[in-house]
């Protein structure tokens, strides 16, 4: 029988969000089930808001689930953010005791490990200096050293390795490796650093929108994750796509979303779709028609962006150049979209690329009403007026 250190059963966490008196619920975790064997290192990956932090918070008992159950065999300590539970007025030595106690160790245990901690951190000289005089690097070293040297059977690590110099990072990774093999310690490790994840983890779970998207061998999952991340972007090169249709008189070479928020698309905020095209033979193009059909998922039609239909005829444009589709208030709702592009020149289809582009829109206050849909629900905001007056017709 496998020795299970952490057993998560149908764990859900729902947050009530109150915006202008309206209650909305938001599922940060949605029925997640997972088993972690003793002595294994489990990597947790996912984009921001995928539920990684919520999961760790529940495991470390900072917050409680809305439903579901976790059973943890053995003492668990979490290193969620460096320096939490440090006091700047106290010396490094005092902070080791303070931090250790908060992490659940007795003074005796800390004393036994004290020399190891100090040596590992490499800041022996400053151990009696108040930590407010430490550099941020020293801070990180000390904090990590405390958690790494104290010996919980299960350790939770969230992104701490993102800070600190490369050499110390390497040292931490080695220490984690040692801990795993020698002491049989179970580690749950959240990181955006795929190299570290691949290097350390036996198994990786990929969370997306509060659910487990994939779970399995580290390399495979990180590869899938990275591929997925690249597909959703604010720009895409189309030049290399071979699967296109049309006469090829002029072709679409690149699409990019421009926004004042530097790459983030937010509902209701200004945004511009920049369309680069290229013609090998023509200096000018007459009667251009762009038809960009936007889908939710891959099949479901949402809306068409069409310069002709919207009354913006483009009679004469350079043979190679850029077109812009401007939105004063981006009407896309929070969610992911794919675009299939068509370019017509003089009424003939010149180029067509299916699923040319995937983009993501973040939630925003489209109507300036204070209302923000928290749900990921692709769709379109439309103008609407409400009152109690009957219309004139």
Considering the complex, state which of residue 74 and residue 216 has its C-beta at the smaller distance from another protein. Answer: 74
Using CB under 8 A, pick the residue from 39, 49, 68, 379 that binds another protein: 68
Torsion of CA 347, 350, 356, 360, to 10 degrees: -40
Exposure b/e, 41-61, CB count within 10 A at least 16 = b:
bbbbbbbebbbbbbbbbbbbe
How buried is 253 (Cβ within 10 angstroms: 0-12 exposed, 13-18 middle, 19+ buried)? middle
Does 70 sit near another protein (CB under 8 A)? yes
Does 15 sit near another protein (CB under 8 A)? yes
Does 65 sit near another protein (CB under 8 A)? yes
Centroid of chain to Cα 144: 24
| 82-101 positions binding another protein, by CB under 8 A | 84-85, 87, 89-90, 94, 97-98, 101
Count the residues of the shown chain that bind another protein, applying the rule CB under 8 A: 41
| 115-134 positions binding another protein, by CB under 8 A | 130
The angle at the Cα of 106, spanning 103 to 112, to the nearest 5 degrees, equals 105
Considering the complex, state which of residue 76 and residue 271 has its C-beta at the smaller distance from another protein. Answer: 76
Does 49 sit near another protein (CB under 8 A)? no
| 151-170 positions binding another protein, by CB under 8 A | 153
Rounded least distance, CB 244 to another protein, Å: 51
Does 355 sit near another protein (CB under 8 A)? no
Give the three-state DSSP class for 151.
Answer: coil
How buried is 124 (Cβ within 10 angstroms: 0-12 exposed, 13-18 middle, 19+ buried)? exposed
d(CA 239, CA 236): 9
| 313-342 positions binding another protein, by CB under 8 A | none
Does 381 sit near another protein (CB under 8 A)? no
Does 76 sit near another protein (CB under 8 A)? yes
Does 224 sit near another protein (CB under 8 A)? no
Does 146 sit near another protein (CB under 8 A)? no
Using CB under 8 A, pick the residue from 104, 248, 318, 370 that binds another protein: 104
DSSP 76: E
Does 67 sit near another protein (CB under 8 A)? yes
Using CB under 8 A, pick the residue from 58, 251, 266, 273 that binds another protein: 58
Rounded least distance, CB 69 to another protein, Å: 5
Considering the complex, state which of residue 78 and residue 342 has its C-beta at the smaller distance from another protein. Answer: 78
Considering the complex, state which of residue 70 and residue 314 has its C-beta at the smaller distance from another protein. Answer: 70
> How many of the other CB atoms lie within 10 Å of CB of 389?
6
Does 305 sit near another protein (CB under 8 A)? no
Does 73 sit near another protein (CB under 8 A)? yes
Centroid of chain to Cα 165: 24
Centroid of chain to Cα 274: 25
Give start and end residues of each alpha helix (H) in 153-292: 166-183, 194-200, 218-231
- N-term to C-term CA, the chain: 75
Rounded least distance, CB 67 to another protein, Å: 6
Does 222 sit near another protein (CB under 8 A)? no
Torsion of CA 275, 280, 282, 286, to 10 degrees: -30
d(CA 111, CA 105): 10
Give the three-state DSSP class for 279.
Answer: coil
Interacting residues toward another protein by CB under 8 A: 15, 57-76, 78, 80-81, 84-85, 87, 89-90, 94, 97-98, 101-107, 130, 153
């Amino acid at each position: 029988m496998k020795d299970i250190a952490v057993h998560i059963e149908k764990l859900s966490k729902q947050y009530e969000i109150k915006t202008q008196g309206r209650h909305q619920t938001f599922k940060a975790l949605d029925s997640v089930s997972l088993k972690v064997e003793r002595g294994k290192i489990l990597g947790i990956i996912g984009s921001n808001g995928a539920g990684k932090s919520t999961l760790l918070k529940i495991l470390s008992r900072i917050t409680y689930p809305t439903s579901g159950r976790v059973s943890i065999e053995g003492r668990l300590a979490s290193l969620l953010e460096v320096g939490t539970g440090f006091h700047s007025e106290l010396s490094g030595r005092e902070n080791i005791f303070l931090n250790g106690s908060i992490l659940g160790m007795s003074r005796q245990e800390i004393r036994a490990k004290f020399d190891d901690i100090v040596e590992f951190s490499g800041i022996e000289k400053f151990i009696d200096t108040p930590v407010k005089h430490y550099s941020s690097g020293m801070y990180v070293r000390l904090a990590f050293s405390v958690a790494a040297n104290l010996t919980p059977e299960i350790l939770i690590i969230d992104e701490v390795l993102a800070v600190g110099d490369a050499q110390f990072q390497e040292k931490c990774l080695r220490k984690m490796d040692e801990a795993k093999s020698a002491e049989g310690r179970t580690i749950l490790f959240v990181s955006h650093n795929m190299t570290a994840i691949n290097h350390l983890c036996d198994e990786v779970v990929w969370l997306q929108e509060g659910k487990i998207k994939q779970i399995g061998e580290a390399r495979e999952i990180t590869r899938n994750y990275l591929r997925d991340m690249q597909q959703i972007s604010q720009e895409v090169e189309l030049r290399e796509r071979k699967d296109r249709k049309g006469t090829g008189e002029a072709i679409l070479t690149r699409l990019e979303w421009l926004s004042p928020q530097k790459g983030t698309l937010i509902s209701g905020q200004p945004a511009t779709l920049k369309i680069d095209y290229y013609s090998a033979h023509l200096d000018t193009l007459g009667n251009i028609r762009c038809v960009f059909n936007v889908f939710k998922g891959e099949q479901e039609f949402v809306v068409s962006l069409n310069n002709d239909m919207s009354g913006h005829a483009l009679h004469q444009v350079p043979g190679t150049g850029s077109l812009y589709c401007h939105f004063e208030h981006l009407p896309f709702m929070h969610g992911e979209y794919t675009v299939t592009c068509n370019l017509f020149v003089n009424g003939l289809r010149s180029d067509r690329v299916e699923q040319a582009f995937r983009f993501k829109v973040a939630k925003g206050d489209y109507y300036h009403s204070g209302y923000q849909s928290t749900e990921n629900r692709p769709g379109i905001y439309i103008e609407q007026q409400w009152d109690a007056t009957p219309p004139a017709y």
